[in-house]
Amino acid sequence: MADYDILVIGGGPGGYTAAIRAAQLGLKAAVVEREHLGGICSNWGCIPTKAMLRSAEMLTHMQHASDFGISLSGKATPDIAAIVKRSRGIAERMNGGVAMLLRKNKVDVIWGQARLTAPGTVEVGAADKPAVEPQAPAPKGVKLHGTYTAAHVIIATGARPRVLPGLDPDGDRIWTYFEALKPSSVPKSLAIIGSGAIGVEFASFYAAMGTEVTVIEMVDRILPAEDAEVSAFMQKALEKRGIAFRTGTKIEAAKTGKKDVTLSLAGGDTLTVERVISAAGVVANTEGLGLESIGLTLENGLIPTTGAGATSVAGLYAIGDITGAPMLAHKAEHEAALCVEAIAGEAVHPLNRNRIPGCTYCDPQVASIGLTEAQATDSGRKVRIGRFPFLANGKAIAMGEDQGMAKVIFDADTGELIGAHLAGPEVTELIHGFATAMELETTEAEIIDTIYPHPTISEVMKEAVMAAYGRAMNI
Residues annotated as catalytic are 454
CB-CB neighbours of 310 under 10 Å: 17
CB-CB neighbours of 299 under 10 Å: 8
What angle, 0 to 180 degrees and rounded to 10, lies between the N-to-C axes of helices 13-24 and 329-343?
30
Please give the C-alpha separations between residue 101 and each of 39, 41, 50, in angstroms, as whole numbers.
14, 16, 22
Q: What gap in Å lies between CA 269 and CA 252, rounded to an integer?
A: 10
The amino acid that residue 211 corresponds to is T
Q: For the chain, what is the total number of helices (H) and then of strands (E)?
A: 13, 22
Task: Look at residue 227 and give its three-state secondary structure.
Answer: coil
Q: What gap in Å lies between CA 365 and CA 226, rounded to an integer?
A: 12
| 139: DSSP letter | P
The amino acid that residue 156 corresponds to is A
Of 14, 10, 39, 212, whose CA–CA distance to 114 is shortest? 10
Burial class (CB in 10 A: 0-12, 13-18, 19+), 241: middle
In 3-state terms the chain splits into helix, strand, coil percentages (rounded to 5) of 35, 25, 40
String of DSSP letters for 234-286: HHHHHHHTT-EEE-S--EEEEEE-SS-EEEEETTS-EEEESEEEE-S-EEE--
Q: Are 211 and 247 in contact (CB under 8 A)?
A: no
Contacts of 92 (CB under 8 A, 6+ apart): none
Query: Is the peptide bond between 119 and the residue preceding it cis, with omega within 30 degrees of 0?
Result: no
Q: Are strands 146-155 and 316-318 parallel, antiparallel or unpaired?
A: parallel
| 89: DSSP letter | H
Task: Look at residue 265 and give its three-state secondary structure.
Answer: strand
Q: What gap in Å lies between CA 340 and CA 206, rounded to an integer?
A: 41
Beta bridge partners of 360: 366
Q: Are strands 244-246 and 251-256 parallel, antiparallel or unpaired?
A: unpaired
Q: What gap in Å lies between CA 396 and CA 388, rounded to an integer?
A: 12
